């Protein structure tokens, strides 16, 4: 124990434990770029396809320089993202690592989360300025890795849960969609959720909207690729100005807290939803109190809240800044203020709370 002054005592062991924890985290921070590298250069896919590899083989198969492949493999092995066998001097993915790092249809797929995190961190200088001035930084101002990473992070979870678990958890919604319902997906980004619903319910009609015009252009392209343009229309519009009326189902996936004026958006939903319609709000998993969210998932979301979602909300009119960890009470407050009378938590996953809201 070292005494630094009369009152403060520093436990050297605790200090060094903290320093080593920080070293581990700097490794993790660098790993966000390394995972993006492995994803975008095709390193992981090559390893999943060809099995145990040397740096030279990996470099040759991916058309990259061996020096980079070697250092990347060593960094990945040190972080337990790949295995290393000193006998053969080969590096390999376990079956579980191969799924998590290459299978975009698995809810365990993680490169999308790294891509959005890495893209978000690249825009940190702008966020520092915004924090000083108290202004915001819009979703549309970020680099493309934020938009594509968001799509690739969320889509596997929607694929696993939306049609099979979340919609069936809502009262009477599946029947309405099977019989041909009207659906608006607000803040749809690249349209992953809209397209999955359109594929599952070919007799219903879907409008996907987002204020970010480039995201809507991408959503239209994705709908063409999926062959669902006969039942989907995408439009660039703020949540407070979405077209149409009498919607049986209105959905918002991970976007209410990003909006500057969530109450204004909720008022608009109240105007365009059918009297017996359902509003499904999917938000990041969170409890109402800070202490409920002091866990690994909450840590990730508070990080995104600081660097991405809160600045996004502050960049818009009103700037309500609900925060990524808003929790059920604050979301209920928003919908009640807009005149909705029924609110319940209908489903949950480790990453999401799914709310059912009705007039
Ligand atoms: C985290 S992304 C989620 C995108 C998509 N729903 C998904 O799950 O992949 C948040 C989305 O909200 C959109 N957004 C933010 N403010 C909005 C507003 N006022 N009106 C409409 N969309 C908005 C952003 O453009 C962005 O596409």
Q: Is 281 in the pocket of ligand 1 (CB under 6 A)?
A: no
Using the structure block, give the residue that is written with the tokens 């968001």: 150
Reply yes or no on whether the pLDDT at 241 is more than 90: yes
Q: 210: CA distance to ligand 1 center in Å?
A: 6
pLDDT, one tens digit per residue, over 290-329 is: 999 999 999 999 999 999 999 999 999 999 999 999 999 9
Q: Is 315 in the pocket of ligand 1 (CB under 6 A)?
A: no
Q: 138: CA distance to ligand 1 center in Å?
A: 10
> What is the rounded average pLDDT of the residues 45-71?
98
Residue with the smallest CA separation from ligand 1 atom 26 is 189
Q: 147: CA distance to ligand 1 center in Å?
A: 10
pLDDT number for residue 112: 98
Q: Which two tokens stand for residue 179?
A: 């019989």
Reply yes or no on whether the pLDDT at 1 is more than 60: no
Q: Is 101 exposed, middle or buried (0-12, 13-18, 19+ CB in 10 A)?
A: buried
pLDDT, one tens digit per residue, over 177-225 is: 999 999 999 999 999 999 999 999 999 999 999 999 999 999 999 999 9
pLDDT band at 238 (very low <50, low <70, confident <90, very high): very high
Q: Is 298 in the pocket of ligand 1 (CB under 6 A)?
A: no
pLDDT number for residue 2: 53
Q: 290: CA distance to ligand 1 center in Å?
A: 24
DSSP output for 63-122? T--HHHHHHHHHHHHHTTSSEEETTTTEEE--HHHHHHHH-TTSTT--HHHHHHHHHHHH
User: Is the distance from CB of 180 to CB of 139 less than 8 angstroms?
Assistant: no
pLDDT band at 68 (very low <50, low <70, confident <90, very high): very high
pLDDT, one tens digit per residue, over 92-103 is: 999 999 999 999
Average pLDDT of the chain is 97
User: Is the distance from CB of 243 to CB of 300 less than 8 angstroms?
Assistant: no
> What is the rounded average pLDDT of the residues 230-245?
97
Nearest to 298 by CA among 331, 329, 258, 325: 325
Residue with the smallest CA separation from ligand 1 atom 2 is 255
| Percent with pLDDT over 90 in the chain | 98
Best mutation site among 157, 187, 280, 318 for ligand 1 pocket (most ligand atoms within 8 Å of CB): 187
In whole angstroms, give the CA distance from residue 87 to residue 101.
25
Reply yes or no on whether the pLDDT at 5 is more than 70: no
pTM, two decimal places: 0.96
Residue 215 CA: which ligand 1 atom is closest?
27
Diameter of the chain measured on Cα atoms: 76
pLDDT number for residue 7: 80
pLDDT number for residue 101: 98
Q: 30: CA distance to ligand 1 center in Å?
A: 28
Reply yes or no on whether the pLDDT at 4 is more than 90: no
pLDDT band at 334 (very low <50, low <70, confident <90, very high): very high
Residue with the smallest CA separation from ligand 1 atom 14 is 187
Q: Which two tokens stand for residue 257?
A: 């807290």
> What is the rounded average pLDDT of the residues 83-92?
98
């Amino acid at each position: 124990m070292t005494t630094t002054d009369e009152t403060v005592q520093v436990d050297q062991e605790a200090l060094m434990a903290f320093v080593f924890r920080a070293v581990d985290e700097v490794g993790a921070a660098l790993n966000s770029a390394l995972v993006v590298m492995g994803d975008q250069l095709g390193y992981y896919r090559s390893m999943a396809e060809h099995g145990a590899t040397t740096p030279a083989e990996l470099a040759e198969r991916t058309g990259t320089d061996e020096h980079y492949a070697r250092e990347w493999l060593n960094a990945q092995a040190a972080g337990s993202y790949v295995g290393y066998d000193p006998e053969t001097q080969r590096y390999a993915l376990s079956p579980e690592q191969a799924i998590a790092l290459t299978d975009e249809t698995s809810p365990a797929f993680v490169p999308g989360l790294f891509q959005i995190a890495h893209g978000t961190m690249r825009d940190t200088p702008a966020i520092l300025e915004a924090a000083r001035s108290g202004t915001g930084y819009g979703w549309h101002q970020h680099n493309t890795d934020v938009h594509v990473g968001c799509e690739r992070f969320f889509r596997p979870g929607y694929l696993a849960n939306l049609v099979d678990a979340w919609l069936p958890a809502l009262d009477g919604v599946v029947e309405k969609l099977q019989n041909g319902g009207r659906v608006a997906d607000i803040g749809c980004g690249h349209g992953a959720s809209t397209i999955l619903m359109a594929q599952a319910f070919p007799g219903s009609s879907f409008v996907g909207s987002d204020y970010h015009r480039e995201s809507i252009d991408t959503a239209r392209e994705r709908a063409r690729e999926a062959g669902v343009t006969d039942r989907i229309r995408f439009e660039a519009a703020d949540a407070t100005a979405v077209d149409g009326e009498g919607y049986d189902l209105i959905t918002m996936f991970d976007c209410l807290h990003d909006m500057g004026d969530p109450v204004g958006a909720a008022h608009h939903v109240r105007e365009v939803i059918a009297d017996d319609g359902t509003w499904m709000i999917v938000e990041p998993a969170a409890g109402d109190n800070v202490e409920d969210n002091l866990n690994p998932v909450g840590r990730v979301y508070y990080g995104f809240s600081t660097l991405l979602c809160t600045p996004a909300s502050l960049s818009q009119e009103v700037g309500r800044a609900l925060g990524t960890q808003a929790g059920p009470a604050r979301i209920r407050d928003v919908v009640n203020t807009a005149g909705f009378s029924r609110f319940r938590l209908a489903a949950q996953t480790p990453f999401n709370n799914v709310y059912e809201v009705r007039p």
